[in-house]
Amino acid sequence: MKSTLLAGALLAFATATSVHAQAIKLANVAELSGGGATVGTNWKNGIDLAIEEINAKGGVLGRKLEVSHADSQSNPGVARAQVQKALDAEPYVLLGPGYSGSVKVTAPLAAEAGIAQIMGGEAAELTQAGNKFLFRTSFGQQSSMPKVAKYIHDEMKAKTVAVVWVNNDFGRGGRDVVVKELDRLGSKVVADLSTEAGQADFAADVGKIKAANPDAVFVYLNEEESARILKELKRQGVTAPLMGETTLIGQKVIELAGDAANGARGHVGLTTDAPVDLIKAFREKFSKKYNYVPDHNGLKGYLAVYMVKATTEKMGKVDPKKFAETLHGLTIKAADEPGILMDVTFSDTGDIDRQSFLVEVVEGKQVVKQVLPKVK
């Protein structure tokens, strides 16, 4: 009888220990190959760095974080299949993808499963469809593009503007908002040029920009294509000031475009050159671990994991069904959770509000010209 009681007690202890030690499982689906490989790799590395830090300090509520990584191949169809596979494994939270087109086709799957999805996409429409499980790690275009248009009109004094954009969900969303805002402010769009993702030759597009002779050029392409058009603009001698939003003046673009990136300006929600001590520390840790300077996507991935940590600790329990409800309306202060890097507030639609920056590329480096406050 004694031995039976002892065995039962040992079994109960072992079970309790196992549950206590059970890892919190996250699933990441990102652009690890294809045209978005730079985006997805930065995002993944940011995630891995955050998890390493958190686990080194004891995890979340005493439990370690684990993440699985899957490659969307920068293809929305593949992304959808990979997200469904990830959701079948019942993760606590889904991370990614980074491309708006892939987020658009995967968000309904996560919502149907009742799993929060923390993504990198910036298309305005993503958080305007009433999805209660979708959260941003950066500004949506409806928040950033009005700032861009205002800068072009007020600071650049541009009466005429050429707009060149990539013809996908990301590019169309940004183009639609900025053109509307430019029109509202009184700046005339004299060239409206769509390009293709992965496009290699921008000679004809730049020729059209030259012919339009605008006061400013707004460029809204993916990173690799941004570098290519910057080189072509320089080669054809376009001297109109260049304005973008995050992708035009990212670190990877600067590396690829070289001297052609100098002088380009842009609004960025996140930059590792921000005059914020916690972001400077992140840049140093990331660069030391991966041997390169991250772009904004590295910051996004890092923040996504700390969003999971802060929200879970706010709840005091690991509850995937309550996670989205808790994150809506939540303000996370950097003083309480340094991994969040800057104070941030999440709206009822999953959008964010925090400081942002206006930057210019000077001698191959981003230089922050202005710090813009939170909207609310």
Please report the pLDDT score of residue 15 as a whole number. 46
Alpha helices in 291-371 (DSSP H): 296-315, 320-327
256 with 110, same domain: the answer is no
Please report the pLDDT score of residue 147 as a whole number. 85
**Nearest Cα to 97, choosing from 182, 30, 168?**
30
CB atoms inside a 10 Å sphere around CB 167? 15
122 with 163, same domain: the answer is no
With respect to residue 222, please indicate whether it lies within any of the assigned structural domains: yes
Q: Domain span at residue 148?
A: 140-267
Please report the pLDDT score of residue 251 as a whole number. 82
Please report the pLDDT score of residue 19 as a whole number. 44
39 with 126, same domain: the answer is yes
36 with 57, same domain: the answer is yes
185 with 303, same domain: the answer is no
Phi, psi for 317 (deg, rounded to 5): -160, 165
Please report the pLDDT score of residue 252 as a whole number. 85
Please report the pLDDT score of residue 273 as a whole number. 87
Last residue of a domain, one of 249, 267, 285: 267
111 with 254, same domain: the answer is no
With respect to residue 160, please indicate whether it lies within any of the assigned structural domains: yes
With respect to residue 326, please indicate whether it lies within any of the assigned structural domains: yes
With respect to residue 366, please indicate whether it lies within any of the assigned structural domains: no
Amino acid identity, residue 245? E
200 with 248, same domain: the answer is yes
With respect to residue 63, please indicate whether it lies within any of the assigned structural domains: yes
Phi, psi for 52 (deg, rounded to 5): -60, -45
pTM of the full predicted structure? 0.79
Task: Residue 87: give its domain's CATH number.
Answer: 3.40.50.2300
Q: Which residue do the tokens 């030259």 mark? A: 210
253 with 330, same domain: the answer is no
182 with 193, same domain: the answer is yes
242 with 162, same domain: the answer is yes
With respect to residue 62, please indicate whether it lies within any of the assigned structural domains: yes
With respect to residue 224, please indicate whether it lies within any of the assigned structural domains: yes
With respect to residue 14, please indicate whether it lies within any of the assigned structural domains: no
The domain total for the chain is 2
Last residue of a domain, one of 222, 251, 267: 267
148 with 242, same domain: the answer is yes
148 with 120, same domain: the answer is no
Contact at 8 Å (CB) between 203 and 226?
no
| Residue 110 CB-density burial (10 A; 0-12 exposed, 13-18 middle, 19+ buried) | buried
Q: How do the pLDDT tens digits run along the chain, 376 residues long?
A: 445 555 555 544 444 444 446 999 999 999 999 989 999 999 999 999 999 999 999 999 999 999 999 999 999 999 999 999 999 999 999 999 999 999 999 999 999 999 999 999 988 889 988 999 999 999 888 888 988 999 999 999 999 999 999 999 889 999 999 999 999 999 999 999 999 999 999 999 999 999 999 999 999 999 899 999 999 999 999 999 999 998 899 888 999 999 999 999 999 999 898 999 999 999 999 999 999 999 899 999 999 999 999 999 999 999 999 999 999 999 999 999 999 999 999 999 999 999 899 999 999 988 999 888 776 6
Last residue of a domain, one of 240, 267, 294: 267
